[in-house]
Amino acid sequence: MEEKIISKENLLKLCSDLLKNNVDVITPGEKGYVKIKSENEVGLNSKAKHTKASFKEYIFPKSEPIIYYKKNQNEVEIIEPKVEEKTTVIFGAKPCDIRSINILSKIFNWDYKDEFFNVRAKNTVLIGLMCEYADEFCFCTSVNLSPTSTNGSDIFLLPLDENSFAVRIVTEKGTNFLKAYENYLTPGNPEKSKEVEAGVKQPEKVFDAEKVKEWITGNFENEYWNTIGKMCLGCAQCAFVCPVCHCFDIVDEDYNYYEGRRMKNWDGCQFDMFTKHASGHNPRNDQSKRYRQRISHKFKYYPDKFNEILCTGCGRCSRGCPVSVDIKGIVSEIYSKC
Amino acid sequence: MDDVKKIAKELLTSGKVDAVIGYIRYGNDKRTKPFIAQKPEEVENFVINKYILNNLAVYLTRKEVTKLGKIGIIAKGCDVKSIVALIQESQIKREDVYIIGVNCSGVAQDYDIEFSAETIAGKCLSCEVRTPKLFDITIGTIEDIPQGEDKKLKVIRQVEAMKPEERWDFFEEEFDKCIKCYACRQACPLCYCEQCIVDKSIPRWIESSATKRGNFSWNLIRAFHLSGRCIGCNECERVCPMDIPLSLLNRKMAMITKDDFNYVSGMDVNTPTLIGSFDLKDNEDFIE
């Protein structure tokens, strides 16, 4: 992996150039991942707490039209919206957020190729930043990640001191992106960056995901699910702030008798409506069954199908849960039963 | 703190209740989380402190909990108001719940912060139910509440002073953030409908999309459905992952029902609900 150094001053210049060229720059700040207007707003604090929601919204929007339709006499006219081919740079995201892109790509390209996701992903450059924040909800190391993992990043930054960053160029997209900014870069010092990397505090590894998967396989009817089911209130906070939860619902919205649009909206597996059939029958008619699905999808079904854990250990779902249902605690407890 | 364990343990041991909903310490000493104890030995981690933020009354109508049998519940004065409102609205019976009321001197507005005049939950500043209005037993003693500034009331006054267009823009910007996760609904003890209007699809009344129109429809309907009913526990706002100031609407509605109908929700199980007590002499000057 090629490595360079960039001064903070030049990094801000780079950001300013992007903004001048009308590139959308998205960065974590106090109000979450926001599109910034000035390079001074760019989030480069490796010690910052996680934003409440991940940047998922910018690649997989909470609601988007996938078809517009018009009824003319006896015909229906379909108009397919095109996703705008616009470069977006996600600047300074944590490894546990950026990891999501490769996990999501698998589901969105499994049988049907989701153009909406793919066009956005193709036009997004992901610049990761080493993470020096770890609280009791963090568990990236338990899901094969680390605070310095470059998986998903096109370019990865490590702060070397107050005024400079090591720049690890991870992908071809990253190499191409940096071509225009070569004069901002100086030769790298991998020894120093490795030293910085070695000094980063790692969240403790609290479970072995393989063992957890085995337990889930043999315990579909375990009483343990009821202990969580009675506490969970059944909202979708966890799913919607999650970097990798990707379920969506498709609904038609009529503007009037003649026109309307078909929407793709985020959906969450803890909703009672999520699996309710038209007949009224609901196979997951109890919160414990719904929570079992959440854990099983993340730690068994997705790994079985795509060889990826559907969790990046960011801990957002637990930090924000109205009743503090804590995924790290739950999976650790499952591990203790293995 | 020992009181709460002793009482909960006794209730479960004697079989007076089948489960006690309470708070347990969680993570550090500035956090708690709800816990439902079904065996006497499960109450060991029960705790009462400045971080018992949840309104546990939300569990009283959840079928995963009602099936456990008779419920004991730890409730602050504000939480008791929602229990009273649930009884007023015939959702639960008084005899089906054993209320361990907490004499409360305020809670923090969030976890992980030092409790002070700056960080006390806004609802506590104007609290009139520090001793709960309804209980089977109470615990704790009342101390002075640190007097901070009622910041939300200030915002309400600012919004009131806005021109209608400005007010529209203000709420449009706030509602734009909504992701339709319905944490506000699920955390609300009075949002107990078996099927929420937003989930009705034959026909669909409210667009489920998190678009401008869908978000406006949802957030306004939510506020309307709670007007004259919301008891001001502020759980909706606390749990909103997008930091939408939902209490502005709920509180303004409560101010209107108090001023126009002299009605405060959740104060007395024998008072009919506001909607259920229509009177020809009701104030009608809001109809123009």
Mean pLDDT of all residues in A299-306 = 98
A105-124: string of b/e by CB count within 10 Å (b at 16+)? Answer: bebbeeeeebebbebbbebb
| Of B181, B185, B207, Cβ closest to residue A253 | B207
Q: Smallest CA–CA separation between A291 and chain B, in Å?
A: 12
Cis peptide before B203, with omega less than 30 degrees from 0? yes
- The tokens describing A120, both together, are 């956005």
pLDDT of residue A324: 96
Mean pLDDT of all residues in B17-43 = 95
Question: Can you spell out the DSSP letters for A73-108?
Answer: TTEEEEEPPPPP---EEEEEE-HHHHTHHHHHHHHH
pLDDT in tens, B45-80: 999 999 999 999 999 999 999 999 999 999 999 999
Mean pLDDT of all residues in B176-201 = 95
Which H or E element spans position A163?
Answer: none
- pLDDT class for B1, splitting at 50, 70, 90? low
Residues in chain A whose beta carbon is closer than 8 A to a beta carbon of chain B? 31-32, 52-53, 57, 62-63, 136, 226, 229-231, 233-237, 239-241, 249, 251, 253, 263, 265-266, 268, 271, 273, 286-288, 320, 322-324, 326
Can you tell me the ipTM of this complex? Answer: 0.95
- Answer whether B183 sits within 8 Å of A249, measured CB to CB: no
pLDDT in tens, B244-272: 999 999 999 999 999 999 999 999 999 99
0.90 surpassed by pTM:
yes
Contact (Cβ atoms closer than 8 angstroms) between residue A235 and residue B181: yes
pLDDT in tens, A107-148: 999 999 999 999 999 999 999 999 999 999 999 999 999 999
Look at residue B286 and tell me whether its pLDDT is greater than 80: no
* Least confident span in A239-248, B20-29, B99-108: B20-29
Query: How far apart, in whole angstroms, are the C-alpha atoms of residue A76 and residue A74?
Result: 7
> Which residue, A183, A181, A188, A186, is CA-closest to A15?
A181
With pLDDT > 90 as the criterion, what percentage of chain B qualifies? 88
Q: Smallest CA–CA separation between A5 and chain B, in Å?
A: 36
Which H or E element spans position B85?
Answer: helix B77-88
Mean pLDDT of all residues in B98-127 = 95
Query: How far apart, in whole angstroms, are the C-alpha atoms of residue B280 and residue B258?
Result: 18
Q: Which residues contact B5 (CB under 8 A, 6 or more apart)?
A: B43, B44, B46
Mutate to test the interface with B, among A139, A231, A233 (most CBs of B within 10 A): A233
pLDDT in tens, A25-77: 999 998 899 999 999 999 999 999 999 999 999 999 999 999 999 998 889 99
pLDDT of residue B279: 85
- Answer whether A322 sits within 8 Å of B28, measured CB to CB: no
Task: Work out whether strand A88-93 and strand A259-266 pair parallel, antiparallel, or are unpaired.
Answer: unpaired
3-state secondary structure of B60: helix
| Of B28, B33, B36, Cβ closest to residue A324 | B33
Question: What are the CA-CA distances from residue A219 to residues A148, A207, A333, A337 (Å)?
Answer: 34, 17, 13, 11
Query: How far apart, in whole angstroms, are the C-alpha atoms of residue A2 and residue A171?
Result: 10
Mutate to test the interface with B, among A68, A136, A137, A231 (most CBs of B within 10 A): A231
> Which amino acid belongs to residue A36?
I
Count Cβ atoms within 10 A of the Cβ of residue B154 and give its class: 0-12 exposed, 13-18 middle, 19 or more buried. exposed
Please tell me which residue of chain A has the smallest CA distance to B202.
Answer: A278
Extended strands (E) in A84-219: 88-93, 124-129, 155-161, 164-169, 185-187
Mutate to test the interface with A, among B64, B67, B193, B237 (most CBs of A within 10 A): B64
Q: Smallest CA–CA separation between B93 and chain A, in Å?
A: 21
- Answer whether A62 sits within 8 Å of B180, measured CB to CB: yes
- DSSP code for B46: B
Please tell me which residue of chain B has the smallest CA distance to A234.
Answer: B186
Average pLDDT, chain A: 96
Contact (Cβ atoms closer than 8 angstroms) between residue A207 and residue A332: yes
Contact (Cβ atoms closer than 8 angstroms) between residue B145 and residue B106: yes
Look at residue B203 and tell me whether its pLDDT is greater than 80: yes
Mean pLDDT of all residues in A218-225 = 97
Extended strands (E) in chain B: 19-26, 28-37, 71-76, 97-102, 137-139
Q: Which residues pair with A187 in a beta bridge?
A: A4
Q: Smallest CA–CA separation between A243 and chain B, in Å?
A: 14
Query: How far apart, in whole angstroms, are the C-alpha atoms of residue A173 and residue A96?
Result: 20
Residues of chain B contacting residue A263, judged by C-beta atoms under 8 Å apart: 207-209, 211
- pLDDT class for A257, splitting at 50, 70, 90? confident
Residues of chain A contacting residue B34, judged by C-beta atoms under 8 Å apart: 231, 323-324
| Of B34, B182, B186, Cβ closest to residue A231 | B34
Cα-Cα end-to-end distance for chain B: 54
3-state secondary structure of B134: coil
Mutate to test the interface with A, among B21, B182, B233 (most CBs of A within 10 A): B182
Query: How far apart, in whole angstroms, are the C-alpha atoms of residue B59 and residue A170?
Result: 49
pLDDT of residue B42: 96
- Answer whether B180 sits within 8 Å of A286, measured CB to CB: no
Question: Can you spell out the DSSP letters for B254-288?
Answer: HHHHHHHH---TTS-TTSPPSGGG--TTS--TT--
- pLDDT class for B284, splitting at 50, 70, 90? confident
- The tokens describing B165, both together, are 């267009």
Q: Which residues contact A61 (CB under 8 A, 6 or more apart)?
A: none
Query: How far apart, in whole angstroms, are the C-alpha atoms of residue B23 and residue A67?
Result: 48
- DSSP code for A322: T
- The tokens describing A217, both together, are 């396989």
Residues of chain B contacting residue A226, judged by C-beta atoms under 8 Å apart: 64
Please tell me which residue of chain A has the smallest CA distance to B196.
Answer: A273
Please tell me which residue of chain B has the smallest CA distance to A34.
Answer: B177
> Which residue, B71, B23, B58, B64, is CA-closest to B43?
B23
Query: How far apart, in whole angstroms, are the C-alpha atoms of residue A333 and residue A142?
Result: 13
Can you state the angle between helices A327-337 and A287-296, rounded to 10 degrees? 80
Q: Smallest CA–CA separation between B241 and chain A, in Å?
A: 6
pLDDT in tens, A147-180: 999 999 999 999 999 999 999 999 999 999 999 9
Contact (Cβ atoms closer than 8 angstroms) between residue A29 and residue A10: no
- How many Cβ pairs within 8 Å bridge chains A and B? 102
- The tokens describing A252, both together, are 């038609």
Residues in chain B whose beta carbon is closer than 8 A to a beta carbon of chain A? 26-28, 31, 33-36, 54, 58, 62-65, 68, 179-183, 185-187, 199, 201, 204, 207-211, 214, 235, 238-239, 241-243
Contact (Cβ atoms closer than 8 angstroms) between residue A334 and residue A220: no
Please tell me which residue of chain A has the smallest CA distance to B38.
Answer: A227
Mean pLDDT of all residues in B208-212 = 94
| Of A53, A63, A237, Cβ closest to residue B183 | A237
- Answer positive or negative: Cα dihedral of A180, A186, A190, A193: negative
> Which amino acid belongs to residue A28?
P
Query: How far apart, in whole angstroms, are the C-alpha atoms of residue B182 and residue B193?
Result: 13
Strands of A248-254's sheet in order across: A75-79, A63-72, A259-266, A248-254
- The tokens describing A183, both together, are 């004069």
Cα angle value B112/B115/B117 (rounded, 5°):
135
3-state secondary structure of A4: strand
Cα-Cα end-to-end distance for chain A: 38
- Answer positive or negative: Cα dihedral of A230, A231, A236, A239: negative
pLDDT of residue A134: 93
Q: Smallest CA–CA separation between A103 and chain B, in Å?
A: 22
pLDDT of residue B27: 83
- The tokens describing B233, both together, are 């526990």
